[in-house]
Amino acid sequence: MAPTSTKPQFLRSLPSTSSLKPTKDKPRVYIVLYPRSASSTNSSFRNVLSCDSYHWSIVVGPQTARRADKGIRYHVAHLNHDTHRHFYEEQDIPSNPIAQSGLVRVAVCKVTDEERLHSILRELPIPGEDSAFNCLTWVREAFCKLHEDGKSVKSYLSADDWQAVEACARKYCKRKRDAGRFQEGNGLANNNGGNAAWSAEKISTFNFWENRETTP
């Protein structure tokens, strides 16, 4: 079995003012699918063939869907192409264009204790050399830990709902891709040539527990 570190290596690119402030509307936890090329500016190898079709991340942010809205992206990325080593990273979304380039996001719960959430995600172990570990397995573990904890988030879901959440994210992303959502310049008009069906400045968002799309 590959060795596992108890305190994972991570990069943190957050300004001191980036922490989300308590508001009437609590921040949400989103499962966000990125193109594989958008893993990280710090990763020297972004297209590892053993990875999933997408790069998976967790984002904590507001209900609003503008790509540059205040928020934090949490994920793991490959350290380099010679090994199966990964690093953990937190990115301030407004100051990081790659963190803003998500394809779709799925809301799964509300944040009740952001500092506790930080601690849980930072303490998730990162295997030393493990070909089966990737961004998706990390997000799955993070989702389960947050829901098992029960104090950092408020949710209608449980850790056992991960498979349904993953399937929802994949299906939603495919639906948007099939509709041409990610084609360059396609935010200007819908398929019928009428008014814009979506805004390129916003990310398509689906609320899992309400079973509805909130931003097209």
pLDDT digits (tens, 9 = 90+) for 177-190: 999 999 876 554 44
Higher pLDDT among residues 152 and 196, named by residue: 152
d(CA 162, CA 147): 10
Q: How far apart are alpha carbons 215 and 183 in whole angstroms? A: 17
The whole-number pLDDT of residue 49 equals 53
Distance, CA of 138 to CA of 90 (rounded, Å): 14
The candidate with the shortest Cα–Cα distance to 180, out of 168, 194, 191, is 191
Residue % of the chain over a pLDDT of 90: 65
Task: Specify the pLDDT at position 83.
Answer: 72
What are the sequence ranges of the domains in the chain? 4-215
Instruction: Evaluate if residue 97 carries a pLDDT over 90.
Output: yes
